[in-house]
Structure 1
Amino acid sequence: MNKKIIATLAATVFLLSACSDPTGESTVNNPGDTPGEKDKTTTTSHQLSTDYYKTVVTNGSYQPSQTRGSTLGLNSNFNLKAFETGLMSLSQAHFDTDNHYFEEGQYIDSKTANSWLKRESKENPNGLNPKDNGKDDPKERNPYYLNSVLEQDYMIKKDDKFSLGGISIGLSMNAIDYYQKVEFGDEYQTKISRDELLKQGKIMADKIVQQLREVEGVGKVPIVVGVFEQSPKDSLAGGSFITEAVSENGSTKVGSWKTINQKKVIFPLVNETSNELANFENFKSEVENFFPNLSGVTAEASYTDDKLVKMKVSINTQFYGESEIIGFTQYVADKAATFLPPNIPIEIIIESINGTESFMARKTGETKFYTHIFN
């Protein structure tokens, strides 16, 4: 289970590509550029599990995204993590982890990404967000639908040479567009319906695929496009992908759209009853009875097709004595095994004002939690 911690840390590498600066200049090569003969491309030798891709390494270095630092920032870290890891998870259904290798996006450059994220205008005809209609009333203005674009590349290897095997594109869409009427003024909200969000995302997908097909090196590889719905700023749960489609055989459009029935809820804040919630509340009560000075016990519960598939528990505490942390971690592991669902992967993090104090995890079907206490 040490692998789980390493995987969690490794995943943060992929969470760096969506920082906010829509006016930033591109400082990278054109997307069509290919490595010179002197470049040596390899991969990481270890694969933590079939849930992860080996990573492409060029000249001993990880290759950052061409658009790093240039796309609009998502409205919370919860959305950022869910967007990036969600796109990788979606990609696994199309690009097998056994024979594909991960590389951050190299075919969409900063200038192109910035133009897509801005409004369409005479000066920016490639803008994917609608023209400014001059209105600032929440119900009358044209909102920003598209918040961020993410590219992930999946490479294949033949005779010690790597070539592009497929591309995944994530479109992060606003369910709420936050804006100000004047600089440094009050914040207003334009709410966007799921139907309108889907409509706009599907239109944008075809435009992006059409432009990508014109980029040198893309050729006829499959291009997977997923539409991601952001959760509100004040939500403790990240958003989720709600639909996907694939452009195949060099087509300049995507094929049929497939609905993705996923959602994330926060226990105990969810406004519905379930056996999972009742069991979590029992777990929470037991944990809070152990020490009176806990700041909070919550869980992010992930559902697919209305079935609970994963849970991440966060426990915040004010105490941080070594003996207290050891005793508390052991107690939490016991109560988690008793009350939390037995047939899904579960992660539990205990944090204090000093940061992460301990971590525990259990895979599907396991009965005992692996635990690690940080010094």
Structure 2
Amino acid sequence: MKKISIVLLCTLLLLTSCIPNRNDDEVLQNDETETKTSIVPSHRLSEEEYRIVLPYETSKARGVIVNQVANRVDIYEMEEGLRRHSKEVFNPDELYFQEGQYLTEDMVFDMITEMNPKIDRDKTEDMDLEEAADVFRDNPRYLSHILEQNYLKPGEDNVVELAGVSIGIALKSVYRFQPQIGSPYFEEEIPFQEMMEQGKEIAQKVLEQLRSIEGLTNVPLFIALYREESQASPVPGNYVAKTLVPAGDFSIKDWESINEEYVLFPSDEGKEKYLEDHEIITSFGSEIASFFPNYVGVVGEGFYIDEELQTLTIEIPIEFNGSAEIVGFTQYVYGLIQDMFPNYYDLEVRVTSSEKIESLLTRDAGEDEVNVHILH
């Protein structure tokens, strides 16, 4: 925690220093109607991260995602995952990040309504329940949300310009519906291929609407399809396909598949797909249980790209009787990490009580040393 605090403090202190290849860190952001003075920090927390224009401006459609995407882990991953994939086309060394400023709440809600099937609820209310349910089953709502992110470049006279836009399109894997007022909710799984076909059609319609917006006609558009998980899933869904539409183009030429996923450990899926990782995490939990009676189990989340583990996050919920026990437990976990977990992926282990995170252990891929933070 001390390292992070120092870096953040340094970043704030250096806001008045030079950004690379520029005379100062003030830029003028032209939003078509007025010119505003903004600041771009000259340093980043890491080389992989975008610098962000300050003061920070939230998305014009900020409230929509919470209304449309039911699972909070999907909300987080949809936003973070889109920024991660955007780095492949919008260089963090050269561009600045800003939340979407073109699509408003009303525009996004209107697009979601227009691009999903229409159901006459007055008619379904007069049907028997199963007949009404069949109408909904035959007309699933595939589209949940449209997320916009902007990427800016420094232009002449210290004015930042729009360099490109990323669009995430959230698609349902499970269609949850209530056929009649007061009736039970029904759930129907949406097959992956069906979702993909519908998602690509929706993406083309989204592209056409974006091109009609002033300022977006002649910029590159990166579009990615996101498959949501079910509403109660402890792990998020993932992006499944992406495409880059060159500036000025009005049609999508081709799609590139994305092979990534989040997997819960321990779970039947984790055991079936990634047995070695499942066994390491299970053994890790067993070692802890043999020495600490208040331990109730570990919960792990693995992030895989092309079936290779990239990041493993583990939470250990446990109750402590005092600060010395926290230190002792953390020391023990530190030793287990060194002995049991390979270092080819990023690892984060959080030790939690009912009230807070008690300690945090992290190790970056390729490193041998585990960083330990005891938070009290």
**1:362–1:368: 8 Å Cα contact kept in structure 2?**
yes
How far apart are residue 288 of structure 1 and its match? 2.3
The count of residues paired between Structure 1 and Structure 2 equals 340
Determine the structure 1 residue equivalent to 2:365.
364
Determine the structure 2 residue equivalent to 1:68.
62
Determine the structure 1 residue equivalent to 2:285.
284
Letter matched to residue 106 of structure 2: K
Determine the structure 1 residue equivalent to 2:353.
352
**2:237–2:261: 8 Å Cα contact kept in structure 1?**
yes
Determine the structure 2 residue equivalent to 1:130.
117
More helix by share: 2
**2:86–2:166: 8 Å Cα contact kept in structure 1?**
yes
Letter matched to residue 140 of structure 2: P
State how far apart, in whole Å, the 2-side matches of 1:7 and 1:110 are.
35
- Report Cα offsets for 1:114-155 as digits up to 9, x if no partner: 11122xxxxxxxx11112265423873311111121111011
Determine the structure 2 residue equivalent to 1:104.
99
How far apart are residue 75 of structure 1 and its match? 2.1
Question: TM-score, with normalisation over the residues of structure 2?
Answer: 0.85
- Report Cα offsets for 1:218-263 as digits up to 9, x if no partner: 2321101110111122322111000001111311122310000111
**1:3–1:48: 8 Å Cα contact kept in structure 2?**
no
Question: TM-score, with normalisation over the residues of structure 1?
Answer: 0.85
Structure 1 range deviating more: 101-110 or 289-298? 289-298
Letter matched to residue 131 of structure 1: K
Counterparts of 1:234-249 in structure 2, within 5 Å, are 234-249=232-247
Letter matched to residue 41 of structure 2: T
**2:64–2:145: 8 Å Cα contact kept in structure 1?**
no
Mark the runs of 5 or more structure 1 residues left unpaired by the alignment: 9-31, 119-126
Mark the runs of 5 or more structure 2 residues left unpaired by the alignment: 9-29, 125-131
- Answer yes or no: is 1:196 the counterpart of 2:194: yes
How far apart are residue 35 of structure 1 and its match? 5.2
Determine the structure 1 residue equivalent to 2:39.
42
The sequence identity of aligned pairs, in percent, is: 30
- Flag the structure with more relative contact order, 1 or 2, with Cα contacts below 8 A and sequence separation at least 6: 1
| RMSD value, Cα | 2.2
- Answer yes or no: is 1:229 the counterpart of 2:230: no
Letter matched to residue 101 of structure 1: Y
How far apart are residue 358 of structure 1 and its match? 1.6
Structure whose CA Rg is larger: 2
Letter matched to residue 62 of structure 1: Y
Counterparts of 1:290-369 in structure 2, within 5 Å, are 290-319=291-320, 321-369=322-370
Give the 3 Å change call, closer, same or farther, for CA 357–7 of structure 1 in structure 2. farther
Give the 3 Å change call, closer, same or farther, for CA 333–182 of structure 1 in structure 2. farther
Letter matched to residue 228 of structure 2: Q
Determine the structure 2 residue equivalent to 1:207.
205
How far apart are residue 320 of structure 1 and its match? 6.0
State how far apart, in whole Å, the 2-side matches of 1:154 and 1:33 are.
14
- Answer yes or no: is 1:114 the counterpart of 2:109: yes
- Report Cα offsets for 1:149-172 as digits up to 9, x if no partner: 111101111342200011100011
Give the 3 Å change call, closer, same or farther, for CA 42–148 of structure 1 in structure 2. same
How far apart are residue 187 of structure 1 and its match? 2.1
